[in-house]
Structure 1
Amino acid sequence: MSNETYRPFDPWRPSPVKEICRKQIVESHYFNVDHVTYESNQIGSFERYFIHENNGETVGVIALTDDGRVPLVEQYRLANHRWTLEIPAGHADSPAERPMQVAARKLAEEAGFEARRLVQFTRFLNTPGYSTQHTSLFLAKGLTPAERTDIGPESPRSNVRLVDVEDAYQMVINGTVVDAKSVIAILRLHSGSLDHIDD
């Protein structure tokens, strides 16, 4: 297999299909669902369903205490009927709330910390096959205690575990941490690629 590249990758080149019709079929607080009909030269007409995230993108925060520990939040996830360990994360409450503001709010609400420094270090597409959802990840340093608030009915007062970076990495490797944004953030932190971000 050759590694030769025949043309530069262009994510914005013209679409191979034409959108014919779009209808919103579900509207909720966090997302809407559209039913879309397309036309393709190869197969003709076909349909898809897409999720559109409301109020901007999802935000996740990997925080690092002065003694090198990461707060992981126990969350009960209704869709999967299981508990997870995740970095603090969430969505904007309104279109006006910016990602860094969401990051600061969720760090306080879920993990009980304020950060002297919050820096965005990556942004990724969650499930590009059927969703417009993006997640921005932030590193938080210079932590001080803050008052936590209730998260919601599914996890009314979840526990926060403070885990050192190596243990968090091992939790990813052994499948204890399975949440995608948390996996990405922990692997980036463990790799040392965030070391250049100072307090």
Structure 2
Amino acid sequence: MSNETYRQFDPWRPAPFKEEARKQIVSSHYFNVDHLTLESPQSGRFDRYVLHGNNGDSVGVLAVTSDGQIPLVEQYRIPTHRWTLEIPGGHASSPTERAQDVAVRKLREEGGYEAKEFVQFTRFIEEPSFSSQYTALFLATGLTPVERSVIGPESPRSDVRLYTVDEAMELVNNGTIVDAKTIIAIVRLHGGLLKHIKG
């Protein structure tokens, strides 16, 4: 196997298969699921299922207090039957709610803060093998504490915990934090995100 590169990576080159049929099999508030039938010269016909997020990107908010702490929210996640520590985040409540509006709302509802400034610093595909959903991450600074809203039935006793950047990075390294958007946000912050954006 060679590491030699013959051309720059091209993410938009032609697909190696043809889409023969597509049918929506699940429709919900947050996402839809399509059943695809595809054909490949190498593999013949095969089926795949693709999840599409509704109402634009999902959002995560990396908030940093004036003394350099990050609010992480305790969330109970039904698919994995476990509590997680996550940056505030979620989905638009309507097709007209923009990603930054979601960031403002989720930071207030889940994190218990309002911020003077929001800056989007990255956008990624959550699970490209079966989903077209993107997540946009925002850095929130100039924080003021506000009263949190009720989170919902999944996390009736959720709390917000404050960690320094180094403490949060240790929670990533030791496997306590397992949520992808939170890991990406903390690694970026630990690597100098604030200096990069502000400087």
TM-score by length of 1: 0.96
Q: Look up the match of 2:138.
A: 138
CA RMSD of aligned residues (A): 1.3
Given residue 167 of structure 2, which amino acid in structure 1 is its aligned partner? D
Given residue 63 of structure 2, which amino acid in structure 1 is its aligned partner? A
Q: Give the CA deviation at 1:7.
A: 1.3
Aligned residues: 199
Per-residue CA distance 1:22-46 (angstroms, 9 max, x = gap): 0011111111111000011112111
Q: Look up the match of 2:189.
A: 189
Which structure 2 segments of 5+ residues have no match?
none
Q: Look up the match of 1:87.
A: 87
Matches within 5 A, 1:130-169: 130-169=130-169
CA distance in 2, matches of 1:30, 1:112: 23
The 3-state SS of whatever aligns with 1:118 is strand
- The answer to whether the 8 A contact 1:126-1:134 is kept is yes
CA distance in 2, matches of 1:93, 1:125: 20
Given residue 28 of structure 1, which amino acid in structure 2 is its aligned partner? S
Matches within 5 A, 1:86-105: 86-105=86-105
Matches within 5 A, 1:3-82: 3-82=3-82
The 3-state SS of whatever aligns with 1:116 is strand
Matches within 5 A, 1:114-133: 114-133=114-133
Question: More displaced, 76-85 or 36-45?
Answer: 36-45
Given residue 100 of structure 2, which amino acid in structure 1 is its aligned partner? M
CA distance in 1, matches of 2:183, 2:30: 23
CA distance in 2, matches of 1:194, 1:58: 22
Q: Give the CA deviation at 1:2.
A: 4.5
TM-score by length of 2: 0.96
Percent same amino acid among aligned pairs? 66
